[in-house]
């Protein structure tokens, strides 16, 4: 008997607890998990995501498309002109891929599905979580971002699938990390705490986190906001040129929050040279942020996508820039709706953690962190996640999402997901006949 | 109070105020100001402005000059001194109509001047620059008499200034902002000063309007970096004018609506949808209408706070506190850096002033060169621009050195320099002096 | 020696008057039979290893890292207050453990303070957190509530992106001023005439509560908190005479108590409700005079006329749910209308508007100011922060009441000071995100307010709330 046995016991319990199948008793689960969920991630959505992570397909009878927030994605649905039985399009031939660089310079990169993984930093999440995500990204042929906490060397074997993030704290940013990444992500702001930089509270700044970030153990880390070299659009241009000088072939993604003039920000970013503009909506998650900022600051993503897409079309530059949406994208249907509103694709955060047994309890920043080993670097807790298991769970979820996207496109009579972009006319208020 | 009468006389200009929350185009991005005891020819600005192109995108550029060479314009020294130089940009063939409706009723015209221009396509400009007409004009006596009745206690020149101001507003309102098609607008209307702008870079203004041989005591140049909109209008470029001052700006206001609301209460309504214009209007309000000293104008726009405030003497604290209480609602929240060039009649000086806000997040550099026969003051977004300018003068043997004697930055809202410096050229003696917000002289030997 | 404005918080303002069962959102329940069965099964499995300490530890290791099963009897007697709703225990033992919402946590009937059941946090629990710690609530995860809502929940504050700077992380180098000068200011300065305003270090005042919503202890605690922070407490004149420290008290005059004004030596400002006579009494000390007017259909006409007549400011009050007294309009619209009416007649920047009624949470403060106020008044939040319970649905002030009980005044003072400190920090968070460095520039700055009614119209052509 050794310490590992405890971990194994709990790990096995947790893994079986979130393994769901058609035999699982949903009514029973609803009773036991009565306190689970909230308006965005409802009990049904969380449990359905566990199911999808177990089976690789959507559940038959449980809610897996929308939450309970009464607005945004939850207030709209597709007005399908066809049914699946009509078989207007053969689902096998549907193309879910998108390009991540539409400018004439820089490497051409495309991914076989319209999503990649959002940045979650080492320190805010465990290495096991990062490895699960990046392994899944490799299997899926897409990318995962390192977040702002530096580039752990354990990720190097997967570097073809890693996006390195340069954020305001500049943690772990070196010429090498920029040179060796296929895509570089500049995090100007973050939806969950617009106007604020990253927060990593002292109990989570462990020895290894401190080393990675070039800081001191046990000292809280607050990243500044904004980049202190960027206070105007001409500064932004110089900033992007700095990255492109170090790595001329990597497309650059600019991650921004959603102010009321997001359309101007986006077009300014385009002129400054961005390849990807990543709108991070106000309802996204984070390791730690003031509650007042999450709810009250900046425009919800659904409005921002629409505003930005429409404006870029008007300016005549929409097809040169890739618009990615993130911040609270929970299901395959949210992704499809975001694309219909005008995004090229989505960047997925929390939805990749639910398969790993996340219950949206919000304890991420406290003390040692997450009790299932996701949002922590505590060595004991981190061992609760086996990254092979984690990768499989995430891949299963995306397999289920792919099935759903194909079903959606088939019912819209579309052969490629790129046809869906900007088709706001296919969306209607939920519950109202078209 | 005379200020109140001026403000209420403007009520009729916009009888129905509507709350329009349209957001402004962003402020732009590269600024340069030159003041010299001996007039400088336009050609010497070309290299410096070209050096600053990294801060613009060629979608808007403008210049202003003050203390002009009257012979170049073909007028006498007296006319240059006394007359209003009403400079109008025509985007369409409407000059006859505009003259009938807005110029002849108010002014007696002494001289009409037309700039020589280059073919714009040959310059690489995609949008034809405005056709500009300059009118050297005096306000009609009867109009002055009439208006004086509404503004008792005001000096004649102040009455005339206000008449010209209101007239230009009406012209702009009729021919630029309320129309779908923009046809004409006032570039500037002060005495012994002029503003020109187009869709291009600032140096394109100098080459297009053939200003290479025009000598002036003060110059300011500005490159814009707008990104919004696919149709560029010269009206959106800087500088903007209040009355006797032209203003350029680098930065953005985070409280544009608030400042607009504040101006609306003084019956002032910006027409060009940029925050820069609002800055120019505020400056004019504090300087001309409220008749504050430059120190108080600067304080109203960039209040002194925190420890800097504590370090002030008792009298200043009282004055500044009163100014802050009255004007903070209308003070632009930055970051911003303004350069103004103007004709200060009361002090008999041409004044070039650089003012930085309290956050100091826009770059600014000041410089002073003290040659035996010429003193030059400079202010710009970047030091390299200042050096490019001096290099040009040095190459043509106008000065004996390549660099300024002194370079420094202003500290916004400070008790030390107040975040602002003025280069003033005395109109009679033609001597140049550099002063900080508090009026203290800056010397090269310190 | 210059000191930046800062409120020192207390770390000993612990819950005192609430029942323990009311303080935790979750109820973990363990089936004792199921637990016993499970332990027996494990014991059989481990067999000989039970003789070792490790074996026993293995069997007894709890699934909860927060200490819910930390008692020696573990799952047989869970420590419910420690449950954070993480659900790990249910994941591990779904047949044996249930975690539900604790119905006792939702103990108020007021629909503004307790709009929903079965959530992990309510406005009441948030205020309790702020009053206990003086801190800003920081948690992981995103926002978990409704997309938008009614009232203040239909608004978002704007933020500044890269083009404008904001603050340097949480502990900023930049100065963000929350000082307000309430009262009449000239349009332009006459340096010989003094400008007399009520200066508060933050735009939040304590407002007077009707008889059934307060008591002597509450008033004392409020007064002490106001004094410690440097802000002000508006209270009815007859009560002001009973409380000492006149320099923090703004007496509220009406036609019944106006004659008592002579009992006071001075007051930093005076509020009044009523006609000209009361107004004249209010001017006794030559300090700023604010007219207290209700938010109803007439508020714009009423307020504008009073300002034109010379009043130094208006204190507009809505009902306790932030609504107009005679129409279905929310406060933000009333404030906007009043603000713009005063802009139109050129007087807005010369007077001040204080707003109260339905401003109950920290996030309402910047929203109310952006809508058109200069400062806000706290009302129902005061007894809530002091762990009082409202009786029923409290909409009309005069018809509202709390469940009366005594109060440790010193503790009460600490709670209110903490609350203000937390709200001050949160105001700075919001302002810094917006890139506005002075709260006086925020009043009526509707360009930085994002309203759901307007943007959702652009979105799908109708308001979706």
DSSP B367-435: EEEE-SS-EEEEEES-HHHHHHHHHHHHHTTSSS-SS-SEEE---TT-SSSTTEEEEEEETTT--EEEE
DSSP C65: S
Can you tell me which residue has the tokens 């319209």?
A114
Which of C189, C344, C434 shows the shortest C-beta gap to B322? C189
Query: With an 8 Å Cβ cutoff, are B257 and C164 in contact?
Result: no
Angle, alpha carbons B118-B120-B122 (nearest 5°): 85
pLDDT for C61 equals 82
Distances (CA, A) of C92 to A16, C62, C133: 7, 10, 34
> Residue C9 has which token pair?
């918080």
Distances (CA, A) of C257 to B50, B109, C219, C251, C274: 73, 69, 18, 10, 11
d(CA C249, CA C345): 32
> Residue A271 has which token pair?
């002129």
Q: To probe the interface with B, which of A195, A233, A265 has the most B CB atoms within 10 Å?
A: A233
DSSP C140-177: SS---S-S--SGGGGEEE----TTS---SSSS-SS--B
Which of C2, C181, C445 shows the shortest C-beta gap to B257? C445
Handedness of CA A426, A430, A431, A432 (dihedral sign): negative
Domain ranges of chain C: 26-101, 180-455
Predicted confidence (pLDDT) per residue in C259-317, tens digit: 999 999 999 999 999 999 999 999 999 999 999 999 999 999 999 999 999 999 999 99
pLDDT for B212 equals 95
Distances (CA, A) of B316 to B303, B311, B321, C186, C263: 12, 10, 8, 18, 37
pLDDT over 70 (residue C168)? no
Question: For each of chain A's 434 residues, which pLDDT tens digit applies?
Answer: 355 778 888 999 999 999 999 999 999 999 999 999 999 999 999 999 999 999 999 999 899 999 999 999 999 999 999 999 999 999 999 999 999 999 999 999 999 999 999 999 898 899 999 999 999 999 999 999 999 888 899 999 999 999 999 887 777 788 888 888 999 999 887 777 766 667 777 878 888 888 888 888 888 777 766 676 777 777 788 889 999 999 999 999 999 999 888 988 898 899 889 999 999 998 888 878 889 988 999 999 999 999 999 999 998 999 999 999 999 999 999 999 999 999 999 999 999 999 999 999 988 877 677 899 999 888 888 899 999 999 999 999 999 999 999 999 999 999 999 999 999 999 998 876 65
Query: With an 8 Å Cβ cutoff, are C87 and A361 in contact?
Result: yes
Predicted confidence (pLDDT) per residue in B10-37, tens digit: 888 876 666 665 666 665 578 999 999 9
- Contact B329/C at CB under 8 A: yes
> Residue C414 has which token pair?
């600490």
d(CA B217, CA B196): 16
pLDDT for C375 equals 98
Angle between the N-to-C axes of helices B314-327 and B294-301, in degrees from 0 to 180, rounded to the nearest 10: 60
d(CA A137, CA A122): 17
Query: With an 8 Å Cβ cutoff, are A234 and B29 in contact?
Result: yes
Can you tell me which residue has the tokens 């900080």?
B436
pLDDT for A1 equals 39
pLDDT for B26 equals 61
Strand partners, B442: none
pLDDT for B24 equals 63
Query: With an 8 Å Cβ cutoff, are B258 and C187 in contact?
Result: no
Query: With an 8 Å Cβ cutoff, are A36 and C146 in contact?
Result: no
DSSP B129: P
Q: What mean pLDDT comes out for the span C212-241?
A: 96
pLDDT over 60 (residue C164)? no
pLDDT for C29 equals 94
pLDDT for C55 equals 78
Helices (H), A85-214: 127-140, 175-179, 207-213
Which of A69, A60, A63 is closest to A46 using CA atoms? A63
- Bridge-based pairing state of the strands B84-90 and A221-222: unpaired
CA closest to B307 among chain C residues: C2
Give C168 or A105, the one with higher predicted confidence. Answer: A105
Predicted confidence (pLDDT) per residue in C364-398, tens digit: 999 999 999 999 999 999 999 999 999 999 999 99
CA closest to C136 among chain A residues: A290
> Residue A39 has which token pair?
């308006």
* A/C interface, count of CB pairs below 8 Å: 301
Is residue C90 classed exposed, middle or buried when 0-12, 13-18 and 19+ CB atoms within 10 A define those classes?
buried
pLDDT for C165 equals 45
- Bridge-based pairing state of the strands C26-30 and A252-256: unpaired
Radius of gyration (Cα) for chain A, nearest Å? 21
Is residue B445 classed exposed, middle or buried when 0-12, 13-18 and 19+ CB atoms within 10 A define those classes?
exposed
Per-window interface: A 298-357 vs B, CB < 8 A: 314-316
Which of A36, A71, A292 shows the shortest C-beta gap to C148? A71
Given 3.40.50.300, 3.20.20.70, 3.40.1440.60, 2.40.10.340, which CATH number is that of C180-455?
3.20.20.70
Which of A234, A268, A315 shows the shortest C-beta gap to B55? A234
Which of C186, C127, C202, C136 is closest to C377 using CA atoms? C202
A75 Cα to chain C: minimum distance (Å): 7
Predicted confidence (pLDDT) per residue in C37-76, tens digit: 888 888 888 777 777 877 777 777 888 999 999 898 888 9
d(CA B88, CA B194): 10
A434 Cα to chain C: minimum distance (Å): 13
pLDDT for A170 equals 76
pTM of the model: 0.94
| Cβ proximity of B87 and B195 under 8 Å | yes
| Cβ proximity of C426 and C12 under 8 Å | no
d(CA C288, CA C178): 20
Subunits with 3+ Cβ pairs within 8 Å of B are A, C
- pLDDT tier, C355 (very low <50, low <70, confident <90, very high otherwise): very high
- Residue C456: its H or E element: helix C452-460
d(CA B378, CA B407): 9
Query: With an 8 Å Cβ cutoff, are B326 and C187 in contact?
Result: yes
| Cβ proximity of C147 and A74 under 8 Å | yes
- Contact A10/C at CB under 8 A: yes
- Bridge-based pairing state of the strands C449-451 and C155-157: antiparallel
| Cβ proximity of C93 and A13 under 8 Å | yes
Q: Mention every residue, 6+ apart, whose C-beta is less than 8 A from residue B183.
A: B90, B91, B92, B94, B175, B176
Contacts of C367 in chain A (CB under 8 A): 296
pLDDT for C246 equals 83
C124 Cα to chain B: minimum distance (Å): 33
Quick check: helix, strand or coil at residue A215?
Answer: coil
Predicted confidence (pLDDT) per residue in C124-137, tens digit: 999 999 999 999 99
pLDDT over 50 (residue C163)? no
Low-confidence ranges of chain B (pLDDT < 50): none
pLDDT for B178 equals 60
DSSP B226: -
| Cβ proximity of C145 and C123 under 8 Å | no
Q: Mention every residue, 6+ apart, whose C-beta is less than 8 A from residue A369.
A: A126, A203, A204, A363, A375, A376, A377, A378, A381
Quick check: helix, strand or coil at residue C451?
Answer: strand
Helices (H), A70-154: 127-140
Q: Mention every residue, 6+ apart, whose C-beta is less than 8 A from residue B170.
A: B13, B102
């Amino acid at each position: 008997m050794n310490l590992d046995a405890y971990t194994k016991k709990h790990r096995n319990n947790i893994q079986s607890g979130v393994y769901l199948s058609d035999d699982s008793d949903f009514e029973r689960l609803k009773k036991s998990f009565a306190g689970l969920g909230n308006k965005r991630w409802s009990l049904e959505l969380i449990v359905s995501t566990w199911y999808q992570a177990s089976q690789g397909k959507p559940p038959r009878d449980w809610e897996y498309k929308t939450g309970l927030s009464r607005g945004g994605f939850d207030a709209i649905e597709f007005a399908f002109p066809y049914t699946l039985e009509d078989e207007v399009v053969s689902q096998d031939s549907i193309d879910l891929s998108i390009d991540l660089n539409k400018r004439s310079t820089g490497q051409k990169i495309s991914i076989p599905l319209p999503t990649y993984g959002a940045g979650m930093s080492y320190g805010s999440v465990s290495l096991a979580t990062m490895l699960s995500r990046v392994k899944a990204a490799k299997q899926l042929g897409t990318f995962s971002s390192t977040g702002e906490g530096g580039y752990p060397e354990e990720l190097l074997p997967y570097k073809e699938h890693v996006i390195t993030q340069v954020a305001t704290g500049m943690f772990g940013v070196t010429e090498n990390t920029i040179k060796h990444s296929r895509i570089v992500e500049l995090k100007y702001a973050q939806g969950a705490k617009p106007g604020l930089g990253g927060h990593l509270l002292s109990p989570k700044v462990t020895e290894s986190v401190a080393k990675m970030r070039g800081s001191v153990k046990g000292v809280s880390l607050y990243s500044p906001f904004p980049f202190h070299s960027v206070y105007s659009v001409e500064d932004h241009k110089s900033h992007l040129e700095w990255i492109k000088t170090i790595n001329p072939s990597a497309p650059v993604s600019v991650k921004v929050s959603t102010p009321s003039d997001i359309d101007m920000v986006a077009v300014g970013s385009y002129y400054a040279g961005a390849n990807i503009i990543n709108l991070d909506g106000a309802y996204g998650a984070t390791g730690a942020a003031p509650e007042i900022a999450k709810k009250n600051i900046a425009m919800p993503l659904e409005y921002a996508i629409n505003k930005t897409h429409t404006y870029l079309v008007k300016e005549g530059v929409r097809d040169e820039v890739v618009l990615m949406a993130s911040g609270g994208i929970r299901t395959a249907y949210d992704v499809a709706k975001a694309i219909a509103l005008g995004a090229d694709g989505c960047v997925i955060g929390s939805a990749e953690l639910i398969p790993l047994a996340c219950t949206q309890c919000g304890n991420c920043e406290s003390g040692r962190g997450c009790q299932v080993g996701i949002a922590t670097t505590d060595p004991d807790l981190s061992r609760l996640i086996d990254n092979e298991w984690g990768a499989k769970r995430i891949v299963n979820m995306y397999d289920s999402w792919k099935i759903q996207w194909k079903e959606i496109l088939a019912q819209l009579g579309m052969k490629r997901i790129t046809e869906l972009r900007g088709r706001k006319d296919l969306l209607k208020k939920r519950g109202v006949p078209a | 109070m005379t200020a109140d009468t001026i403000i209420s006389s403007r009520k009729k200009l916009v009888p129905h105020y509507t709350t329009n929350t349209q957001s402004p185009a962003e402020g732009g991005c590269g600024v340069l100001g030159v003041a010299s005891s001996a007039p400088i020819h336009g050609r010497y600005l070309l290299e410096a402005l070209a050096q600053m192109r990294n801060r613009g995108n060629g979608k808007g550029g403008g210049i202003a000059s003050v203390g002009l060479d009257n012979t170049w314009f073909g007028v006498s020294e007296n006319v240059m001194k006394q007359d209003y130089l009403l400079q109008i940009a025509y985007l369409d063939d409407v000059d006859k109509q505009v003259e009938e409706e807005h110029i002849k009723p108010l002014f007696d015209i002494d001289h009409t001047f037309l700039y020589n221009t280059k073919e714009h396509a040959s310059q690489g400009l995609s949008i034809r620059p405005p056709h500009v007409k300059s009118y050297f004009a005096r306000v009609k006596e009867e109009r002055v008499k009439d208006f004086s009745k509404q503004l008792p206690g005001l000096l004649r020149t102040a009455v005339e200034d206000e008449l010209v101001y209101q007239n230009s507003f009406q012209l702009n309102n009729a021919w630029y902002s309320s129309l779908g098609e923009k046809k004409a607008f006032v570039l500037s209307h002060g005495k012994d000063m002029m503003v020109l702008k187009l869709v291009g870079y600032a140096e394109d203004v100098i080459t297009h309007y053939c200003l290479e041989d025009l000598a002036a005591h003060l110059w300011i140049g500005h490159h814009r970096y707008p990104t919004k909109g696919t149709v560029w209008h010269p009206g959106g470029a800087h500088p903007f004018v209040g009355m006797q001052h032209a203003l350029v700006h680098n930065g953005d206001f985070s409280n544009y609506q608030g400042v607009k609301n504040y101006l609306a209460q003084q019956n002032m309504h910006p027409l060009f949808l940029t925050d820069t214009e609002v800055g120019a209007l505020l400056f004019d309000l504090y300087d001309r209408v409220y008749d504050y000293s430059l120190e108080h104008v600067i304080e109203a726009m960039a209040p002194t706070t925190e420890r800097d405030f504590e370090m002030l003497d008792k009298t200043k604290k009282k004055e500044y506190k009163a100014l802050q209480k009255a004007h903070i609602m209308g003070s632009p929240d930055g970051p911003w850096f303004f350069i103004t060039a103007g004709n200060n009649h009361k002090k008999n000086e041409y004044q070039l002033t650089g003012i930085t806000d309290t956050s100091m997040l826009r770059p600014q550099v000041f410089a002073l060169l003290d040659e035996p026969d010429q003193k030059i003051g400079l202010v710009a977004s970047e030091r390299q621009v200042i050096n490019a300018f001096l290099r040009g003068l040095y190459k043509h043997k106008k000065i004996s050195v390549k660099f300024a004697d002194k370079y420094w930055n202003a500290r916004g809202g400070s008790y030390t320099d107040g975040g602002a410096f003025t280069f003033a050229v005395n109109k009679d003696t033609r001597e140049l002096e550099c002063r900080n917000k508090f009026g203290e002289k800056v010397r090269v030997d310190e | 020696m210059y000191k930046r404005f800062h409120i020192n918080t207390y770390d000993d303002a612990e819950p005192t008057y609430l029942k323990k069962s009311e303080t935790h959102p979750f109820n973990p329940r363990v089936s004792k039979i199921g637990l016993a069965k499970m332990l027996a099964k494990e014991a059989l499995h481990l067999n000989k290893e039970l003789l070792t300490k490790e074996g026993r530890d293995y069997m007894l290791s709890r699934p909860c890292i927060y200490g819910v099963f930390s008692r020696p009897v573990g799952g047989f007697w869970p420590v419910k207050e420690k449950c954070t709703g993480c659900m790990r225990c249910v994941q591990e033992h779904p047949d044996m453990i249930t975690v539900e919402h604790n119905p006792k946590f939702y103990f108020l009937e007021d629909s503004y303070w307790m709009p929903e059941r079965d959530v992990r946090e309510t406005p009441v629990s948030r205020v309790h957190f702020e009053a206990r710690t003086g801190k800003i609530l920081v948690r992981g995860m995103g926002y978990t509530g409704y997309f938008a809502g009614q009232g203040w929940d239909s608004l978002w504050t704007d933020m500044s992106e890269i083009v404008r700077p904001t603050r340097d992380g949480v502990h900023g180098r930049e100065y963000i001023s929350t000082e307000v000068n309430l009262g009449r200011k000239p349009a332009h300065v006459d340096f010989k005439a003094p400008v007399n305003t009520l200066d508060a270090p933050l735009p939040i005042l304590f407002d007077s509560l009707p008889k059934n919503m307060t008591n002597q202890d509450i008033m004392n605690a409020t007064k002490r908190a106001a004094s410690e922070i440097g802000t002000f407490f508006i209270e009815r004149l007859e009560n002001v005479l009973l409380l000492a420290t006149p320099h923090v008290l703004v007496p509220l005059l009406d036609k019944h108590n106006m004659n008592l004004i002579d009992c006071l030596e001075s007051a930093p400002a005076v509020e009044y409700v009523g006609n000209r006579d009361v107004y004249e009494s209010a001017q006794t000390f030559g300090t700023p005079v604010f007219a207290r007017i209700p938010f109803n259909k007439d508020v714009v006409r009423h307020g504008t006329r009073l300002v034109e007549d010379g009043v130094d400011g208006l204190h507009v009050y809505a009902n306790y749910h932030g609504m107009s007294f005679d129409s279905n309009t929310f406060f933000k619209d009333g404030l906007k209308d009043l603000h713009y009416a005063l802009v139109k007649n050129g007087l807005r920047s010369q007077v001040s508007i204080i707003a109260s009624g339905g401003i109950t949470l920290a996030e309402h403060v910047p929203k109310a100011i952006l809508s058109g106020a200069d400062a806000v008044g706290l009302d129902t939040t005061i007894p809530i922060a002091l762990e009082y319970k409202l009786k029923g649905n409290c909409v009309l002030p005069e018809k509202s009441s709390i469940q009366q009980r005594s109060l440790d005044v010193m503790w009460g003072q600490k709670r209110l000071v903490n609350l203000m400190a937390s709200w001050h920090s949160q105001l700075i968070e919001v302002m810094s995100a917006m890139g506005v460095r002075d709260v006086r520039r925020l009043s009526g700055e509707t360009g930085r307010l994002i309203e759901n009614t307007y943007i959702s119209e652009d979105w799908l052509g109708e308001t979706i709330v």
